[in-house]
């Protein structure tokens, strides 16, 4: 059976990327195949969630190809790998790591780096991959394999709470793991700015050495460089020197450089030299996987009913999703009832979820029409004028995303055929990847359509 299992792994390896195999499959072990239940040991809950949520078809296909018969697949965490979980429950949502106000000390008129700024909890094996971020993750793995060669600079962008900080720090942690002597520094653009100002104010040496003698520079929250002209200039020269030496540059932002006001055109073009990659909102399946992983990390059993309810109703970002889970678990512990019972009894609906329960399609259409200063009849009409057509497509998108209406039902509400609705929804989804202005409009509308 051991040889057959190795054949299964070999077959999986032929159907996924090398990095995906190394991350999710290389440490899988066949525990048993008794009573037609195939039990597979996985290193941790995060890999378990990924295989169950994304790679299950790949595993099933490989087992079928090799000819292993079974009725059920069971994934179980390896006892030797399982860590002790916390019994207490966090009430606040997980956010970016708290950092000390200063990341350097001043000694002998020089800036001395205290650490690399990386938080070791941000790793690839606890980062949930889905259709919303798979390209960004694939590029991240390519950087680990060939730092400074591919995707340099690596620029990722997307709204808050979507996992950008986790991913860029995971790259740094993996590079350090492979080469402990590599000089890596993670800072926010605010920290870069404060270091620069401090060095100028006190005429300190060492700023250039700190940033220009690195192997990897990781900059977070680049959008906050707005209005800091001298810091932009310094970052521009730092970028040029590192890039000239084939050193890896990693930058995250909530939007593209070209969409950030006052960013120097030269700097913007440098950052766009690589392939900017966006991270989108996670879909329903990914949100479920994130919640399951978080609950298991906390050592808490939570019913699928509660997981799916949260995933269906919290669509803003991962940070909010985890925060609502923590809130639900804390309330569950306090009242001594299960999360599902809390949901059934309505303890949290009024505070969190009632807004999605009361909005009708007509109300949503009216709100969107008002937002774009249009009469509702224009949205429902046949006008092909660009701004009216775009508003109509936004309505289609929101009816589908927010009210979970089928494309057939949306067509009925708008008196449009099925194919027109499908095209409209796809158009908005595609535009959201690059149009930051549209992202802000959709975020605004999500709030406004639920206001009485």
Question: How far is Cα 169 from Cα 172, in angstroms, rounded to an integer?
Answer: 5
The tokens of 122 are what? 């941000």
Q: Please give the pLDDT value at position 94.
A: 39
Spatial separation of the C-alpha atoms in residues 419 and 163, rounded to whole Å: 34
- pLDDT at residue 358, rounded to an integer: 66
- pLDDT tens for each residue of 243-255: 999 999 999 998 8
Higher-pLDDT residue of 452 and 219 is 219
pLDDT tens profile 189-238: 999 999 998 888 877 777 888 999 999 999 999 999 888 888 899 999 99
Q: Quote the tokens at residue 133.
A: 């971020």
Among 110, 108, 173, CA closest to 143 = 173
Q: Distance from first CA to last CA of the chain, Å, rounded? A: 63
Query: How many other C-beta atoms are found inside a 10 Å radius of the C-beta of residue 397?
Result: 24
pLDDT band per the 50, 70, 90 thresholds, residue 166: very high
The residues pairing with 111 across neighbouring beta strands, listed in sequence order, are: 106
For 331-358, give the DSSP string: HHHHHTS-HHHHHHHTTTIIIIIHHHHH
Q: How confident is residue 452, by pLDDT bands cut at 50, 70 and 90?
A: low
Instruction: Answer whether 51's CB lies under 8 Å from 24's CB.
Output: yes
pLDDT tens digit sequence for 249-303? 999 998 888 888 788 888 999 998 887 888 888 888 888 888 888 888 777 888 8
Q: Could you identify the residue written with the tokens 């509660």?
A: 306
Higher pLDDT, 29 or 334: 29
Residues 6+ apart with CB under 8 A from 19: 138, 141, 142, 144, 145
Average pLDDT over the chain, rounded to an integer? 82
Kindly report, residue by residue over 63-122, the tens digit of the pLDDT.
888 888 888 888 887 765 443 333 333 333 334 444 333 444 333 344 443 489 999 989
pTM above 0.75, yes or no: no
Mean pLDDT check: name the lowest of 250-259, 281-290, 370-379, 423-432: 281-290
Confidence check: pLDDT of 405 > 70: yes
pLDDT of residue 88: 33
The pLDDT, as a whole number, for residue 321 is 86
Out of 48-52, 388-392, 401-405, pick the least confident.
48-52
CA angle 53, 56, 60 (to 5 degrees): 170
pLDDT of residue 96: 42
- What element of type H or E holds 271? helix 265-271
Beta bridge partners of 186: 218
Percent of the chain clearing pLDDT 90 (strictly above)? 32
Q: How confident is the model at residue 431 (pLDDT cuts 50, 70, 90)?
A: confident
Supply the DSSP string of 138-205, one letter for each residue.
HHHHHHHHSTTTSSSSEEEE--TTSSHHHHHHHHHHHHHHH-TT--EEEEEHHHHHHHHHHHHHTT-B
Rounded to whole angstroms, what are the CA distances from 142 to 111, 186, 252, 328, 409?
33, 19, 17, 38, 43
Share of the chain above pLDDT 70, in %: 87
pLDDT at 348: 56
């Amino acid at each position: 059976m051991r040889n057959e299992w190795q054949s299964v792994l070999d077959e999986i390896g032929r159907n996924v990327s090398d990095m995906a195999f190394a991350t999710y499959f290389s440490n899988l072990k066949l525990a048993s195949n008794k009573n037609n239940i195939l039990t597979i040991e996985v290193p941790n809950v995060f890999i378990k969630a990924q295989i169950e949520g994304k790679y299950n078809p790949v595993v099933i296909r490989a087992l079928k190809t090799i000819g292993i018969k079974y009725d059920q697949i069971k994934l179980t965490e390896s006892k030797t790998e399982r860590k002790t979980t916390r019994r207490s429950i966090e009430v606040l949502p997980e956010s970016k790591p708290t950092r000390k106000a200063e990341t350097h000390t001043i000694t002998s008129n020089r800036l001395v780096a205290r650490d690399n700024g990386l938080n070791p909890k941000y790793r690839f094996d606890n980062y949930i991959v889905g259709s919303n971020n798979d390209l960004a993750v694939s590029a991240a793995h390519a950087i680990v394999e060939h730092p400074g060669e591919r995707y340099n600079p690596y620029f990722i962008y997307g709204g808050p709470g979507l996992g950008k900080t986790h991913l860029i720090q995971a790259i740094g942690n993996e590079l350090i793991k492979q080469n402990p002597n590599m000089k890596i520094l993670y800072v926010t653009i605010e920290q870069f700015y404060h270091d620069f100002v401090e060095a100028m104010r006190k005429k300190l040496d060492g700023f250039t050495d700190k940033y220009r003698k690195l192997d990897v520079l990781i900059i977070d929250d680049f959008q906050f460089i707005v209005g800091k002209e001298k810091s932009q200039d310094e970052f521009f020269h730092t970028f040029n020197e590192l890039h000239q030496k084939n050193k890896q540059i990693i930058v995250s932002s909530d939007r593209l450089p070209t969409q950030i006001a006052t960013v120097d055109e030269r700097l913007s073009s440098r950052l766009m030299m690589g392939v900017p990659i966006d991270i989108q909102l996670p879909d329903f399946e990914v949100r479920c996987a994130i919640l399951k992983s978080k609950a298991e990390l906390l050592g808490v059993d939570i019913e699928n009913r509660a997981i799916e309810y949260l995933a269906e109703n919290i669509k803003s970002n991962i940070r909010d999703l985890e925060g609502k889970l923590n809130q639900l678990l804390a309330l569950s512990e306090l009242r001594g009832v299960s999360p599902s019972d809390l949901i059934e009894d309505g303890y949290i609906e009024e505070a969190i979820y009632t807004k999605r329960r009361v909005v009708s399609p007509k109300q949503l259409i009216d709100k969107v029409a008002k937002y774009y200063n249009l009469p509702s009849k224009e949205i429902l009409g046949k006008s092909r004028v660009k701004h009216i057509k775009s508003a109509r497509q936004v309505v289609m998108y929101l009816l589908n995303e927010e009210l979970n209406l089928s494309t057939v039902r949306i067509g009925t509400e708008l008196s449009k055929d099925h194919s027109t609705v499908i095209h409209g929804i796809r158009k908005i989804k595609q535009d959201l990847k690059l149009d930051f202005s549209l992202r802000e409009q959709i975020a605004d509308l999500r709030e406004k359509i639920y206001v009485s």
